[in-house]
Structure 1
Amino acid sequence: MQVASDSAPPDSNPPANETVLPTKRRLAKSTTVLQYTLRKPQWEYLHLSLHRSPPFSSTDDPLDALTARTHLTSSLQQFLGITGTAIPIDILKLEGHDVWVRVPREDASSVVVAVGGWASVQPGEDGESVTLGWRVKSRDEWLSRLAAGDEMDLFNG
């Protein structure tokens, strides 16, 4: 006895006018993108400028590393005492009376306040006194932005 079946056995070669849709589509292999976000960079970079009253003249020597280190250490010691002298400061670049430094991120605010509020009165030529002070020109967590000079002032757009 034969049982009749409604379904015919699958034909290995479908007719030319029919299209065969696969039951499972294969997706193209995608590349895995690794994304990494630095939430708290280890360092902060500062662009400082040494100002003098009376102003520097064109004949004055540019700032050297030893003088910059001395003035930075003096400002930190004056504001924070012996603790301030323990803050590591790396001088990265000197240009004229400008200096670029690297400080630990945790200490950056203290360094900005210390150097921004520092003033030193020294004897000058001809018996007049000379006042020195730092100006914080810019501050950034990324050296590339600071070096490119693309930092924008919050209020000047």
Structure 2
Amino acid sequence: MTEAMDLDPHPRSSLPKTKKSLPLTTLTLPPSTFSYAHLTLLSPSTVQLDPLQLKSYLTSALSQFLGQTGTAIPIDILSVSSSSAWVRLPRPDLAAFSAAIAAFPGISSGRERIVLKVEAAGDYLGALISRSKDGDDIWGP
């Protein structure tokens, strides 16, 4: 019983197998046909924003900045809360819309001036909602 014990593993005669990598998969999102904007009401008093008042404000801003071309931009009001709103409009019109809202001096309601601010705007609603503090405004609690 004086046999020598072989503790070392036998060397492999072939090279170690290389791991096959997974094929890369890419996905390109098609350009969106619509853009979305998150608007916030800036007012010193407790004026409540409603859909009719918002539509009036947007129509005034667009007609003053762009004339008849501005009033022809179709705008869908998605959600309105007391101090903010979400709207949808055609993608090519987003820059003109944002400029019109930013340049509009506001509407006077008695002695107070009501002004809307564009909080965020972009082509993908999900990305805008995740950036906003009040994403529950559009999806609900």
**TM-score, L = length of structure 2:** 0.70
Structure 1 counterpart of 2:113, which letter? T
Root-mean-square deviation (Å): 2.3
Cα distance in 2, alignment partners of residues 122 and 47 from structure 1: 22
Deviation at residue 138 of structure 1 after TM alignment: 0.6
Cα distance in 2, alignment partners of residues 142 and 107 from structure 1: 15
* Structure 1 outlier segments of 4+, above 4 Å: none
- Match of residue 89 from structure 1: 75
1:55-94 matches, within 5 Å, as 55-57=44-46, 60=47, 62-94=48-80
User: Does 2:113 correspond to 1:131?
Assistant: yes
Higher helix share: 2
* 74, 87, 90: which one aligns with 1:104: 90
Structure 2 counterpart of 1:38, which letter? L
**TM-score, L = length of structure 1:** 0.63
* 104, 127, 132: which one aligns with 1:145: 127
Deviation at residue 121 of structure 1 after TM alignment: 4.6
Structure 2 unmatched runs, 5+: 1-24, 134-141
Secondary structure, in 3 states, of the residue corresponding to 1:79?
A: helix
CA, structure 1 residues 136+150, in 2 after alignment: closer, same or farther (shift >3 Å)? closer
Cα distance in 2, alignment partners of residues 135 and 150 from structure 1: 14
Structure 2 counterpart of 1:108, which letter? L
CA, structure 1 residues 150+50, in 2 after alignment: closer, same or farther (shift >3 Å)? closer
Deviation at residue 141 of structure 1 after TM alignment: 1.0
CA, structure 1 residues 67+150, in 2 after alignment: closer, same or farther (shift >3 Å)? closer
Cα distance in 1, alignment partners of residues 109 and 82 from structure 2: 22
* 20, 40, 45: which one aligns with 2:36: 45
Contact 1:116 1:133 in 2 (8 A): no
Contact 1:119 1:134 in 2 (8 A): no
Number of positions where the alignment pairs a residue of Structure 1 with one of Structure 2: 112
Structure 1 unmatched runs, 5+: 1-32, 152-157
Q: Percent identity?
A: 36
CA deviations 1:103-149 (Å, max 9, x no partner) are 1110000000001111135252xxxx222222110112111111223
